């Protein structure tokens, strides 16, 4: 009799798992509004920290799994610092996260008189539509153009990705291939308002 109850509970557990299996395999492509705030400073506090506001557009893929959500995306945004001299940073970036986040951004800072180009690898945490990362600004060209940026080598970024459009897509290909795929790969559109 004990053996029968164990078999019953095992088959019930298996049936319950199969009932939710479809939920874990859905993949969505989203168009999103990027909102962020960035703090940029240095390790030695020689120059004051700068706070940038960020707005942009992202194309991303989100998929749920039994162990949590997985996301990957490409985005273009504008970082703006309002201060003694306004500084604008045009940024393109890519990221992926599954709790731990890794990304890469390229930013061109300008005050419309001079320019400064940085490459920023980013590491941190991300889940769903939220990223919290620490980046290291690698100087490239014209690093002496801005005293404010020359020694500000660390940046903390918090970004929110607010969905504008969402589409269910095929999940039989690698996630970055789905992100870059321009052809219609089935699914349903779901405009979010």
Calpha distance 137→147 (Å, rounded): 14
**Residue 100 in domain:** yes
- Asked if 34 and 53 count as a contact pair (C-beta separation under 8 A), the reply is no
Assess if residue 47 is contained within a domain. yes
Q: Does 19 map to a domain?
A: no
Q: How far apart are CA 118 and CA 141, in angstroms?
A: 8
Ramachandran region, residue 68 (left: φ > 0; alpha: ψ -120 to 50; beta: rest): left
Longest CA span, the chain: 84
Residue pLDDT tens, the chain, 193 long: 444 444 444 445 554 555 555 556 788 899 999 999 999 887 666 667 889 999 999 999 988 777 678 899 999 999 999 988 899 999 999 999 988 999 999 999 999 988 889 999 999 999 888 999 999 988 887 677 677 776 667 899 999 999 999 998 877 777 777 777 765 544 444 444 4
Question: Is residue 7 assigned to a domain?
Answer: no
Domain hosting 152: range is 26-191
Does residue 176 fall inside a structural domain? yes
How many domains, in total, are found in the chain?
A: 1
Closest CA to 90 of 105, 72, 101: 105
The domain that holds 101 is classified in CATH as 2.40.160
Name beta bridge partners: 138: 119
The continuous run of DSSP H or E covering 95 comes out as strand 87-110
């Amino acid at each position: 009799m004990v053996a029968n109850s164990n078999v019953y509970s095992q088959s019930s557990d298996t049936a319950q798992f199969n009932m939710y299996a479809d939920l874990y395999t859905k993949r969505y492509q989203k168009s999103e509004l990027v909102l962020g705030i960035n703090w940029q400073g240095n390790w030695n506090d020689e120059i004051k920290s700068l706070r940038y506001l960020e707005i942009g557009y992202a194309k991303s893929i989100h998929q749920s799994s039994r162990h949590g959500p997985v996301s990957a995306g490409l985005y273009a945004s504008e970082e703006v610092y309002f201060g003694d001299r306004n500084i604008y940073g045009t940024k393109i970036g890519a990221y992926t996260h599954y709790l731990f986040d890794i990304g890469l951004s390229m930013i061109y800072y300008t005050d419309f008189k001079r320019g400064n180009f940085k490459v920023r690898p980013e590491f941190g945490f991300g889940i769903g539509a939220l990223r919290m990362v620490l980046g290291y600004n690698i100087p490239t060209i014209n690093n002496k153009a801005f005293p404010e940026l020359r020694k500000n080598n660390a940046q903390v970024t918090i970004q929110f990705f607010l969905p504008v459009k969402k589409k269910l897509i095929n999940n039989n290909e690698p996630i970055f291939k789905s992100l870059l795929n321009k052809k219609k790969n089935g699914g349903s559109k779901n405009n979010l308002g």
